[in-house]
Homo-oligomer: A and B are copies of this chain.
């Protein structure tokens, strides 16, 4: 019923006009020869695959869902398996992966753009390859040469898929209290025993093997997070030639009934002495887990960007077509019984909120994708380190801010359709239900906020934050000469200096009372999110002003729209920061005063 068109023009605006991608890649040796034509054709073909193969399966995936067939067998919704076969055949899973393991070696930033489109088309389906990607990252960083050569090519091709088995019934956020145990079998392998829950893609019928990355405790492990180790537990143990051999003692016990993402199997996984091999060093599992987790957190941000984009497209189409009531300033379509609802200011507020959040999120996430490329592939160690710092700082912001906004955006998209948005057939309410999980999994948004404020900002006395502040100022410097930019730079600069003050205030309160960090963290993350989006809209406005000053593009409505959307952002969304500042400063006392029994 709905529609999805890959937003190629907007994607190209970010890649080439904001990130100056071709020049940026020239400085990264493995990508120095990649030109715009190659990237554009990847995005165009990838977009076709998403729009034509994945998107038509999105509603059926929601309606039919995955099914537990008993005895550990899970089937995916009609069409999922065929789409996955086409995905593997076309090599889409290998896009951003290392050529050493059969990947196509395209930059991460290009893969990010492809992920946006996959998630617009079908988040539930896209989680299957998404989890393989997380497993790939962890094994690539910490696996032994044997593990890498055995597993990575199959994960890269998509022949096998991966999972992250962290959560247990009593241990979600708090991985220090997991109970799953790993006992040496005397042959270098381990027997893994325990039950994991909420395992996305834990069992399915898409691939011939599933590679579980499992957190478990060795017999002599110290208590808490320092006693966690990471193991590879394949569904089928690879035989001598690396093909799926003996069935391992890991089995799906049931799947969850969820609010959304019905097309992805959320599994209870029972490990009953399953054979596993250790990844990296004993008791160092959390480090490997964080590699997976950070990759997953950026991926979750992309999921919400994707959902917000497709919801926006559908609410916009409705707002242009639906005739209902007259404009407050007088009839616009006099020959029709009513005007299209896009004439109404508040319908525009709902549309522009989506547009402004989506476009800034795209700039933010693609920028992060490029920063990861620089972190991994820049020849200059200092540049690698700087980019690693920025990615570390902003990963929780991408996860927390973009997923909160994604929920708001999909909720607004539904609202534009009125009662029709509440009906399954519209597809809009599914986007809300799917978007809802993104605020929860891979670390709730509260956890993201604590990670940002506690670990990433206060943890190094603001060093990474200052580095980011300087990076933004450097990027904006060429734009400051244009007096027309003042309108955008003034609020950005004001927010940046308020953030500095606020950070110092919280830091000094936190030294007396650690609860001050917990009390301020969530509004603080939203403020940082707005700082990033203010920067993105300054930069986009700067590009637009430059284009509008060039004869060839002087009247291009595309750039006019960018300029006006920047104005909308600063007029209607940025003001949220005024209240957030007060909330962040109000401290812990109003939260902690009540005894638990008084609630």
Chain A residues with a Cβ under 8 A of chain B: 167, 170-174, 176-177, 198, 256-260, 316, 320, 323-325, 327-329, 337-338, 340, 342-349, 351-352, 355, 407, 411, 414-415, 418-419, 421-425, 429, 432-433, 436-437, 439-441, 444-446, 449-450, 513-515, 517-519, 521-522, 557-558, 560-561, 564-565, 567-568, 571-572, 575-580, 582-583, 586-599
Contact = CB atoms under 8 A, between A and B. Distances in A.
B338 A174 contact: yes
Name which of A344, A424, A577, A590 has the most chain B CB atoms within 10 A of its CB.
A590
A313 to B, nearest CB: 10
Contacts of A415: 439-440, 444-446
Q: Report which residue of A177, A257, A346, A589 has the largest number of chain B beta carbons within 10 angstroms of its beta carbon.
A: A346
A576 B579 contact: yes
Nearest to A420: B172
Contacts of A349: 519, 522, 591
A346 B449 contact: yes
Nearest to A348: B591
A494 to B, nearest CB: 13
Contacts of A445: 415
Contacts of A558: 598
A328 B592 CA distance: 12
A418 B437 CA distance: 9
Nearest to A338: B174
Given A329-B513, A522-B346, A259 B599 contact: no
Contacts of A439: 415
B575 A352 contact: no
Contacts of A422: 258-260, 436-437, 440
Contacts of A577: 579
Contacts of A411: 407, 436
A351 to B, nearest CB: 6
Nearest to A345: B518
Contacts of A595: 557
Contacts of A593: 564, 567-568
A45 to B, nearest CB: 27
A590 to B, nearest CB: 4
Nearest to A561: B598
A582 B590 contact: no
Contacts of A579: 575-580
A323 B449 CA distance: 20
B575 A591 contact: no
B596 A340 contact: yes
Contacts of A441: 419
Contacts of A432: 259, 436
5 contacts: A259-B422, A320-B599, A328-B518, A345-B591, A575-B578
Contacts of A571: 583, 586-587, 589-590
Contacts of A176: 325
A347 B446 contact: yes
Contact of A325 (B174, B320, B328, B567): B174
A578 to B, nearest CB: 4
Contacts of A519: 345-346, 349
A346 to B, nearest CB: 4
B514 A329 contact: yes
A526 to B, nearest CB: 11
Contacts of A565: 594
Given A557-B598, A586-B572, A172 B418 contact: yes
Contacts of A258: 422-424, 429
B329 A515 contact: yes
A450 B589 CA distance: 38
A176 B323 CA distance: 12
A583 B579 CA distance: 12
Contact of A594 (B561, B572, B578): B561
